[in-house]
Structure 1
Amino acid sequence: MSTDTSASARRNTTTIAGNAIVRVGPVNPTVAQALSEDFGSLVLPAAGSERDAFLSEHGQSIRVAVCSGKIGVDSELMKALPNLEAIINFGVGYDATDVAQAAERNIPISNTPDVLTDCVADTALGLYLMTLRSFGSAERFVRNGTWGSGENFPLATRASGKRVGILGLGRIGQAIASRLEAFGCEIHYHNRSEKTDTAYAYHRSAAELAEATDVLIIAAAGGPQSAHLVDANVLSSVGPQGFVINIARGSVIDEAALVNALENNLIAGAGLDVFAHEPSVPQGLLELDNVVLLPHLGSGTHETRADMAALTLENLRSYIAEGTLVTPVS
């Protein structure tokens, strides 16, 4: 007689109490407050002896982990939680979590899709305009008094009517494309597979997409499969008149290759909201004036963060009550 040891089977045995829920790392303040006041959840200490002691005492009893997309539940932590049943993720990205181990153990993961699509797409559009039109440099030009001294600001690049390549035509990529259509842009894209519901031009690789377009916008999901997808070869295909915009994950770009391309004018410029080792930004990028740098604020509006918090808590409540997630990662 076989015994079902999956997470779903364990879920149905007992009610999930507060000490079976753990908060991993910093999370949205609304979520953190609800976890404490409404659920009485545990809080995982930072790495070190205190965490080791915590896991020794509570690791066996924890059944649900709540985390941000930036922190996630990594391989080591997941192994220390043998009875983990579900991972509730604040954010659309979940690449910081060991997805492969979660799949092996039948641990479902939720994220917060859709509610942040518009704000992230707006951020991409803002970076697009700032980067091509040099608005960031122009603003500094006024602030530091250079304009007042009588000097003229250098000419920039027209933003309308460009051939734009979207690397990753998911929800966010599609929203970016729709916005750029209003600027008269010609949209191209690369996905792991060609879409049948769009008239945009499909390209079989990131390098082919970069070669065919003026601006490469990265909207691909993070994780091992997309790590360094935009490498030196792709950047070479972008070319000295081309631009790169990244609102996805810093890991998608080979950051050292990007710095080299910018320093040696192998590409014209870049607009970046994400970096490989946040909040650390390579000194080479900080010193360049043809780069726009943002502090990973893609979804950073009051409205969107409230919606993300509500969806995160809705997933948690649904799992506790019914054993199902509202927005599971497929």
Structure 2
Amino acid sequence: MASGLHGEQQVLVLTRLALDAAWLAAQAPRYRFVAWNEAGDGARAIARAVLTNGSTGLSAAELATLPALELVASFGAGYENIDLAAARARGVRVCHAPDTNSQVVADHALTLMLALSRGIAALDRGVKSGQWESLRAPRPGVRGKTLGIVGLGNIGGKLAVLAQAMGMQVAYLRRGAPAAGHYAPYADPIALAAASDVLALTCPGGAATHHLVDAAVLRALGPRGLLVNVARGSVVDTVALVEALARGEIAGAALDVIETEPLVPAALRAMDQVILTPHLAGRSPETRVAQHTALVGNLDGWFLHGEPVHPVALPA
């Protein structure tokens, strides 16, 4: 249980994401943020909080080096690589920043879908290299097509609204939750892919969704189907994806996240039917403000009141 905020608390930072300098200065009287790789044994011995994110997480082995740890804060909605069982065993609370960037991620997913369908990236490269007439073949639109969403949460729900506004039909993977709105539910990813023109991934990462999109799902999506991933790279079997693209089993893929990031397989980099962005779907000036606000809210909530604002439910 938090014992209150007495003087400056040290927060170890276990993420590559850079915190805003002005925000850090404003927190200085209460919190001192120290990079994990710069923290010695003494700093780890007294640290009561760790800042991480879903991609980086906090392992049981790392947690074991922090005897005074009380709180693990994720700088974002995801927390799939934080060892929740180890945290619970130690009595450590975990918190996150839900719905701080869901709209911009949904916007990015829509942008990728449209760019992929209309061939924007390849057309841009072609025109800049001196082509024109040879590139003016018709390109498919999305109106009247079906968007299949894996992960109809904050992000997926916002993407569904955007898609419907563009005249698309929306289907989704229903995994035990109540039916959602007027969207068509499908019980398994293969059936959803078979019914979809575009399959968009907006689900959490972690063991439950690891390689959920595999060779069978990609085959079901079909030779005119498009894949958009703004979730986690681990949701897609990368080897199967490369093979499906090379064989023409799907028409294209737009990926903001990759299993091996920041390393990108050479095969994906060489494919014109692939659009890649560097895991920035959730990044905008507005979302950065919201994430910083959620972080300090969680820290203050714990150290001042004994409860973070946005707790994560730990496993029983």
Q: Which SS does the other structure have where 2:241 is aligned?
A: helix
Shift of 1:129: 0.2
Shift of 1:181: 0.3
Shift of 1:39: 3.4
Amino acid at match of 1:271: A
One of 96, 99, 107 as aligned partner of 1:122: 107
Instruction: Determine the structure 1 residue equivalent to 2:49.
Output: 64
One of 278, 283, 301 as aligned partner of 2:284: 301
Amino acid at match of 2:8: G
Amino acid at match of 1:90: F
Q: Check whether the contact 2:10–2:31 (CA below 8 A) recurs between aligned residues.
A: no
Instruction: Determine the structure 2 residue equivalent to 1:4.
Output: none
Alpha-carbon spacing, 1:209–1:21, altered in 2? closer, same or farther (3 Å): same
Instruction: Determine the structure 1 residue equivalent to 2:269.
Output: 286
Shift of 1:191: 3.3
One of 170, 191, 194 as aligned partner of 1:187: 170
Stretches of structure 1 that go unaligned for 5 or more consecutive residues are 1-7
Stretches of structure 2 that go unaligned for 5 or more consecutive residues are none
Alpha-carbon spacing, 1:248–1:34, altered in 2? closer, same or farther (3 Å): farther
Alpha-carbon distance in 2 for matches of 1:41, 1:165: 44
Alpha-carbon spacing, 1:243–1:60, altered in 2? closer, same or farther (3 Å): same
Shift of 1:19: 5.0
One of 84, 87, 90 as aligned partner of 1:102: 87
Alpha-carbon distance in 2 for matches of 1:34, 1:96: 29
Structure 1 runs (4+) deviating above 4 angstroms are 14-17
Instruction: Determine the structure 2 residue equivalent to 1:273.
Output: 256
Structural RMSD (CA): 2.0
Alpha-carbon spacing, 1:36–1:114, altered in 2? closer, same or farther (3 Å): closer
Q: Which SS does the other structure have where 2:20 is aligned?
A: helix
Instruction: Determine the structure 2 residue equivalent to 1:202.
Output: 185
Instruction: Determine the structure 2 residue equivalent to 1:161.
Output: 144
1:177-225 CA distance string (max 9 Å, x none): 0100011111111132142342211111111110111111101101111
Alpha-carbon distance in 1 for matches of 2:263, 2:26: 29
Alpha-carbon spacing, 1:197–1:214, altered in 2? closer, same or farther (3 Å): closer
Question: TM-score by structure 2 length?
Answer: 0.92
Alpha-carbon distance in 2 for matches of 1:193, 1:258: 27
Shift of 1:146: 1.5
Amino acid at match of 1:168: G
Q: Which SS does the other structure have where 1:59 is aligned?
A: helix
Deviates more, 1:288-297 or 1:107-116: 107-116
Q: Which SS does the other structure have where 2:73 is aligned?
A: strand
Q: Check whether the contact 1:141–1:153 (CA below 8 A) recurs between aligned residues.
A: no
Percent identity for Structure 1 against Structure 2: 34
Instruction: Determine the structure 1 residue equivalent to 2:19.
Output: 29
Q: Check whether the contact 1:93–1:111 (CA below 8 A) recurs between aligned residues.
A: yes
Instruction: Determine the structure 1 residue equivalent to 2:211.
Output: 228
Deviates more, 1:311-320 or 1:64-73: 64-73
Q: Check whether the contact 1:231–1:254 (CA below 8 A) recurs between aligned residues.
A: yes
1:100-126 CA distance string (max 9 Å, x none): 322333322221112211100000100
Amino acid at match of 1:174: G
Instruction: Determine the structure 2 residue equivalent to 1:313.
Output: 296
Amino acid at match of 1:58: A
Q: Which SS does the other structure have where 1:109 is aligned?
A: strand
In the alignment, is residue 249 of structure 1 matched against residue 239 of structure 2? Answer: no
Shift of 1:299: 1.5
Q: Within 5 A, what are the aligned runs for 1:2-81? A: 8=1, 11-12=2-3, 15=5, 17-18=7-8, 20-30=10-20, 33-34=24-25, 37-41=28-32, 43-46=34-37, 54=40, 56-81=41-66
Deviates more, 1:189-198 or 1:249-258: 189-198
Alpha-carbon distance in 2 for matches of 1:131, 1:199: 26
Question: TM-score by structure 1 length?
Answer: 0.88
Shift of 1:258: 0.6
Q: Check whether the contact 2:105–2:155 (CA below 8 A) recurs between aligned residues.
A: yes
Q: Which SS does the other structure have where 1:113 is aligned?
A: coil
One of 71, 81, 85 as aligned partner of 1:86: 71
Shift of 1:71: 2.2
Shift of 1:162: 0.7
